[in-house]
């Protein structure tokens, strides 16, 4: 039985009152940023104000999906209430209004990612479909037997399985970048893996399992020197980082709306226009065609060439509204607040016997993945839920990483900017209670 910690050792400073009030922040680069009023921000998220199992909800499962501000919910509701109609080629006012909103959403996402134009943004169901699109369209048309695809040990299954399928189809070879003891990519090993047969490098921007932020600019520079293209899984980066695809110089960037405070069922694939132009369609049907006859079909221009069928119209509108919501804040301030939450979690973790933090990269997003001696992650998740605290447990769709680390999985608390220092401390108080009773 692990002895209980004193309040003084668990809570090293009183932060409860300041945790939901405005306070000063320092960005990662040392610059001062405007204070955040977390109380006001939390009022924008209706779902946060409820009880679970008789306890106030502490939602720490943001890496799985983020919560949605009221403006996102209302924007989708407004579409269905006021101008629900299919988009493009409509001959009536509702269709014109829906098309305008839908394409304005695409333009907004393009501007947010700093793409060169709206034609470089393809609507997809999410990051998973975006990566599959690149694999099956670009990959199948460009790769040959013996060509190489480089992945990393940190990848989500969605950035592994599509490439395995492609490798089986064309006879390509998959190589894997190893990681060090902090769950950082071994960049020296990456340099050694690159050859003139390397055609694709596919890595995540931020690891969903460890929070590691990968050096995409350097990865792109080295890949391009060998003639390879770079595909970035940006699902976990979009809610935490300022994403500038031109600065990253990646060739494709995939992201999901629901990870970044928008709805499920919508995502975006950014691709450099010159690559998208030469890629064949991914799926066939309506919308992606220019003209169809039984003797043959000609395909639509970008971006519609890759968008077969009726799109997720309300979801695209909601995704863009989520981006607008984020744009009202200083993104450096949001990131600084999340860094503060993570730093507090790491500080409190030092005082918990038997707790191991999985992933301690120097550059890290607000993901706290951990194990406690004597407690299975799934049991930990259930016991935390009984105290109103939502976390994720298991392998987090990163089974190769868990196998590499020699563990069955982890418990994962993941923070968003609407979380508070008080919630971090409630989380650790709950951990201590569980450890006293069960470890």
Quote the crossing angle between the two packed helices 331-349 and 421-438, to the nearest 10°: 20
pLDDT of 3 = 32
How does pLDDT run across 261-296, given as a tens digit for each residue?
999 999 999 999 999 999 999 888 777 677 877 877
| Cβ pair 202, 143 in contact under 8 A | no
Domains of the chain and CATH, by start: 7-67+330-438 (3.90.1150.10), 72-327 (3.40.640.10)
What's the pTM value of the predicted model, to 2 decimals?
A: 0.92
**In sequence order, what are the beta bridge partners of 212?**
364
255 is catalytic: no
Length of the chain: 439
pLDDT of 91 = 84
How does pLDDT run across 371-405, given as a tens digit for each residue?
999 999 999 999 999 999 999 999 999 999 999 99
Q: How far apart are CA 381 and CA 377, in angstroms?
A: 6
Can you spell out the DSSP letters for 298-327?
Answer: EEPPTTGGG--SS--HHHHHHHHHHHHHHH
85 burial (CB, 10 Å; 0-12 / 13-18 / 19+) is middle
Stronger pLDDT, 32 or 438, i.e. the higher one: 438
pLDDT of 13 = 33
Largest CA distance in the chain: 79
How does pLDDT run across 38-70, given as a tens digit for each residue?
999 999 999 999 999 999 999 999 999 999 999
The answer to whether the Cα torsion of 168, 169, 170, 175 is positive or negative is negative
pLDDT of 11 = 30
> Rounded mean pLDDT of 147-166?
98
Catalytic residue of the set 397, 402, 407, 429? 397
pLDDT of 1 = 30
| Cβ pair 126, 266 in contact under 8 A | yes
pLDDT of 23 = 52
């Amino acid at each position: 039985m692990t002895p209980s910690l004193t309040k003084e050792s668990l809570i090293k400073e009183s932060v409860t009152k300041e945790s939901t009030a405005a306070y000063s922040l320092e960005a990662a680069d040392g610059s001062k940023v405007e204070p955040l009023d977390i109380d006001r921000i939390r009022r924008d998220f209706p779902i946060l104000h409820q009880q679970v199992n008789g306890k106030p909800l502490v939602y720490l499962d943001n890496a799985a999906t983020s919560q949605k501000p009221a403006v996102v919910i209302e924007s989708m509701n407004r579409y269905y209430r006021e101008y629900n109609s299919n988009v493009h080629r409509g001959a009536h006012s509702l269709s014109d209004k829906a098309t305008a909103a839908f394409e304005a959403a695409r333009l907004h996402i393009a501007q947010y990612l700093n793409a060169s134009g709206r034609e470089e943004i393809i609507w997809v169901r999410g990051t998973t479909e975006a990566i599959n699109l690149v694999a099956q369209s670009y990959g199948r048309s460009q790769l040959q037997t013996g060509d190489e695809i480089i992945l990393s040990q940190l990848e989500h299954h969605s950035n592994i399985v599509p490439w395995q399928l492609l490798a089986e189809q064309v006879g390509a070879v998959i190589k894997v970048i190893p990681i060090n003891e902090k769950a950082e990519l071994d960049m020296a090993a990456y340099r050694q893996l690159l050859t003139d047969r390397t055609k694709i490098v596919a890595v995540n921007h931020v690891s969903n399992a460890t929070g590691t932020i990968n050096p995409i600019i350097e990865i792109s520079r080295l890949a391009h020197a060998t003639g390879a293209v770079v595909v970035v899984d940006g699902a976990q980066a979009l809610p935490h980082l300022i994403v500038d695809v031109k600065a990253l110089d990646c060739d494709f960037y995939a992201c999901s709306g629901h990870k970044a405070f928008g709805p499920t069922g919508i995502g975006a694939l950014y691709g450099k226009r010159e690559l998208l132009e030469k890629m064949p369609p991914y799926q066939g049907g309506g919308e992606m065609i220019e003209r169809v006859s039984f003797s043959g079909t000609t395909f639509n221009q970008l971006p519609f060439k890759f968008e077969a069928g009726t799109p997720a119209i309300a979801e695209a509108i909601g995704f863009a509204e989520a981006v607008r919501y984020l744009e009202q804040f200083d993104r450096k301030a949001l990131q600084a607040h999340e860094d503060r939450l993570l730093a507090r979690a790491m500080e409190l973790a030092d005082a918990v016997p038997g707790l191991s933090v999985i992933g301690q990269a120097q550059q890290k997003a607000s993901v706290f993945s951990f194990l406690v001696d004597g407690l299975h992650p799934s049991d930990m998740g259930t016991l935390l839920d009984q105290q109103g605290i939502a976390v994720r447990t298991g392998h987090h769709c990163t089974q190769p990483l868990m196998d590499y680390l020699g563990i069955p999985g982890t418990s994962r608390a993941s923070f968003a900017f609407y979380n508070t220092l008080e919630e971090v401390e409630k989380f650790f108080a709950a951990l201590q209670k569980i450890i006293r009773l069960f470890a």
